[in-house]
Amino acid sequence: MAYKIAVATSDGVTVDRTFSSAEHFAIYEVNDKNFTLTEKRIPQKSQNIATENCENGCGSGCGSGCGSGGGQHSEKVDLISDCRCVVCTKIGFPIRKQLEKLAISVFDVNCSVDEALRKITSYYQKIDNHQSLRK
């Protein structure tokens, strides 16, 4: 079963962006345990302006960093709505809830893109094939 993973990375090598500070998302397509970079998705400029003052990385788009989200739906969530999960260094609670409603998993990590994708694809391979996660 093929699926997509969105990664918040500035250089394609490390997962080094919070959800709110991501200037783009690298989209990887996964088939079995093989993953391939297929595209970069760039949010509209208006979204970047709305979150540029968000010091806490809450990703709410409110610009204050409060994490309240102001009840607004994130354009970045829509941008990756066809992905199975998103990988970033940090994500705020309001955005996490929006992603949960779309059944998109969130992985907060500090590692290389390759390491994150290897571990996540292995995890999903086991889940999809009803295998134990225990070693």
Q: What is the pTM of this model?
A: 0.80
- CATH architecture under which domain 3-128 falls: 2-Layer Sandwich (3.30)
Q: What's the pLDDT tens digit per position in 71-89?
A: 577 899 999 999 999 999 9
Domain ranges of the chain: 3-128
Q: pLDDT truncated to tens, each residue of the chain (135 aa)? A: 799 999 999 999 999 999 999 999 999 999 988 999 999 999 986 444 444 445 545 554 444 444 444 557 789 999 999 999 999 999 999 999 999 999 999 999 999 999 999 999 999 999 998 888 887
Instruction: Give me the DSSP letters along 29-92.
Output: EEETTEEEEEEEE---HHHHHHHTT-TT----SSSSS-S-GGGPPPHHHHHTTT-SEEEES---
